[in-house]
Amino acid sequence: MAQIMMTVQYDGTNYSGWQRQKRENTIQTVIEESLSKILKTQIKIRGAGRTDAGVHALGQVASFKGEIKMSLDILKKALNHLLPKDIRVIDLKEVEPDFHPQYSAKRKSYIYFICLDEECSCFINRYVWHYPRKVDLKLMEYSLKLFKGTVDFTAFSGSTDVKNKIRTVYNFSLQSFNELCFMDMKVQGNFIKLRIEADGFLKYMVRNIIGCIVEIGTGRLNSENIKEALKSGKRPSSMQTAPPNGLFLERIVY
């Protein structure tokens, strides 16, 4: 039995997230069904994290065990032939038997895109948070430092059974720019890109933090509100959860 690590890209628009669910179409379910058909046995995969419904991935990682009687290159081609076009396996490799996509990970990073224009291009609308309001970018960038370091993120977590809500955020950055490249075209506009890297993330943690950063940019929240939330573990009253479509799981470091 070989232990295989797979790296997957997907557009999460049409799926109810990564994790297998009984009555919903998920990324994990679709990949498992395709693998099981190719290998002619039931295959279960383990993912590095559970992206929410509508969230995308540039480098999701998962693993599975099986008797592989073909080269991994051929298996990858067969998988991508069966999988829908919005899910692509970009790499397969054999790893040690004790490899675990979640517990072996050292760092994970997410990126998030926001469009501030009155109208958002139809070509990118499904990959950005369309937020046609004025925001103070300096205040937003200044507030990022509040989330860096080893912090208890209870106030920014969704409902979860995870008891330890302390995470270490290594990097958190904000960039603003006036165009996005789409194929060989340049889409003009006012855009924000946020990138956060940590040793792990809680349920809705990234989307809650992004929503909080935007509220700071509009003046509905300030630094003291954030400090109090982190100290008390209580969600700021005016904080919103950013929509899923602007969020991408960027990469996982092992």
Bridge pairing between strands 107-115 and 129-130: parallel
Catalytic residue among 11, 52, 86, 91: 52
Q: Which of 5, 62, 71 is nearest to 30 (CA)?
A: 62
Please confirm, yes or no, whether 52 is among the known catalytic residues. Answer: yes
228 - beta bridge partners? none
H or E element at residue 79? helix 72-82
DSSP letter at 244 equals: G
Indicate the residue type of 132. Answer: P
Q: Which two tokens stand for residue 59?
A: 């480098």
Give the residues across from 186 on adjacent strands: 181
* Nearest Cα to Cα of residue 142 among 231, 221, 251: 221
Q: At what angle do helices 27-39 and 72-82 cross, to 10 degrees?
A: 120
Length of the chain: 254
Give the closest residue to 87 by CA, choosing from 113, 56, 128. 56
Q: What is the DSSP string of 161-202?
A: S----EEEEEEEEEEEEEEEEETTEEEEEEEEEEEEEES---
- In a 10 Å sphere around its CB, with 0-12 CB exposed, 13-18 middle and 19+ buried, how is residue 109 labelled? buried
The catalytic residues are 52
